[in-house]
Each structure stands twice: as structure tokens, then as C-alpha cells.
Amino acid sequence: MPEPVVPATAAPVDPALPAAVLFDMDGTLVDTEQLWWQTAAEIAEELHHPLTDQDAPEVLGQAVEHTAAHLHRVSGTTLDEAELAARLGESFAGKVAAETVPRPGALALLASLRDAGVPTALVSASPRRVVDLVLSAIGRDWFAVTLAAEDTERTKPAPDPYLAAAERLGLDPAACLAVEDTPTGVASATAAGCAVLAVPSTATPMPDGERITLLASLEQADLALLGKLTAAPAV
């Protein structure tokens, strides 16, 4: 069942702050990107296709179905893509359930935003069952809206997830800040019109852009910086 639209009055009173902050999950808020790589690597090994750096763009930040299609294509396996996707999802969910660790600075930033009255959304390309596992570990009450892979017709790198999050919050995407860790997520948020704070979880190069800002860690992010990233450009 879709989550209700949050009234636009949920936006912060302080105009110097973003109207909302839209967080990616894997690799951004929680240290699960390596768990996803490990999951894909284990199954790829079974298919006699050891993963290399060349596979990274098809794995990191991608939905389960995308990575399953990639493994099917490069390995030539007789397993169909649906079975590969199911195996990837099951294995990843098990790893997340056993080991969910917040990224440095993530919970402190969420607390600062809550105290300032800035609404937040979780915008993930992971399946809902994985999203719910993470929310059980870090807390559901941080977010006014949560979106998983099943909640939009297209997932990242398409703009749909970020457009949907802004719509459910009753806000213009251009007034929102997205926080991402992969080029796939940055592409999604940028296409939706959001300003982007990119905090890479891997060495994969990030795209450049007028409204894309890179930080080494969320520990370096504070409310003043977030406000500057969504401020209207000087005329």
C-alpha cells in the first residue's frame, strides 16, 4: 500500500535549510554496499565469472534485477534471470539481517535534521524486504517516506524514485537535497532535479555537475552546508 502524501507544511520553517533531504540507503546510510558486492561475487563465482572492477558499474548501486541480468549475460548460465535475482535477493537479505552497520555520521546527521524540522525520505533501489530489515536496525521514525525498488515503475538510475519521494512529501524536487554514494544514484537524483551530496562508498569516479558536491564522509556534513547546497543560485 502506498504511503500517504506528507503535507508540504512538513517542510522546515527555516528557508536556509533544504525543504527535505532524500537519503539513499545502501552505502550511504548503512555499510551494506560491500555486502551487496560480496553477494554478487559469491554467485558470480558459482557461475565461473569472478567479478572484477569492470563489473562494478553493473553491481554497485544497481537493483537486484539489473545485476542478475548482467550476471546472466556475462556468464552464459542456463539459469534464468528471475532465478538469479531471487538468489541474489535471498543471500543479500541474509547478510543485511546479520550485519547492518550505520555509516559514520549518518545517525548524527539524521538527528540534526529531525531537530531542525527538516523532513527526510529513504530512497532505495533495494527490495522492500531489505529496506525493512535496515529500518528495523536503524529505526523507522527517522523518515517521513520510504521507497523501495518495487514502489516505482523504474528504479535508479531513472529519476522516478526521487520524483516519487518529493511528490509524497508535497515538495519540488529542486528544493530537495539527495544524499548518494554511487554514480547510479547520483544520476537518478540529478535527473529528478535534486541537488546532490555525494559521499562515495567505493573508489568508483563520481560524475561532475553544477549541483553535485562531493564529501569524504557524512561526518563532514552539517545543516549549514546542506542549506548552501540547495540555496538558489545568485542572479
Bridge-partner residues for 213, per DSSP? 197
Residue given cell 527490495 in the structure block: 127
Pick the catalytic residue: 26, 55, 151, 181? 26
Rg (CA), the chain: 17
Helix or strand (DSSP H, E) at 137: helix 128-138
Helix or strand (DSSP H, E) at 196: strand 195-198
What would the grid cell of residue 66 be? 539489473
DSSP classification of residue 19: S
Please indicate whether residue 26 is annotated as part of the active site.
yes
Burial class, 232, CB count within 10 angstroms (exposed 0-12 / middle 13-18 / buried 19+) = exposed
Pick the catalytic residue: 24, 151, 160, 181? 24
Interatomic CA distance for residues 192 and 12, integer angstroms:
21
Please indicate whether residue 24 is annotated as part of the active site.
yes
Interatomic CA distance for residues 101 and 29, integer angstroms:
9
Q: Which residues make Cβ contacts (< 8 Å) with residue 132, sequence separation at least 6? A: none
Positions marked active-site: 24, 26
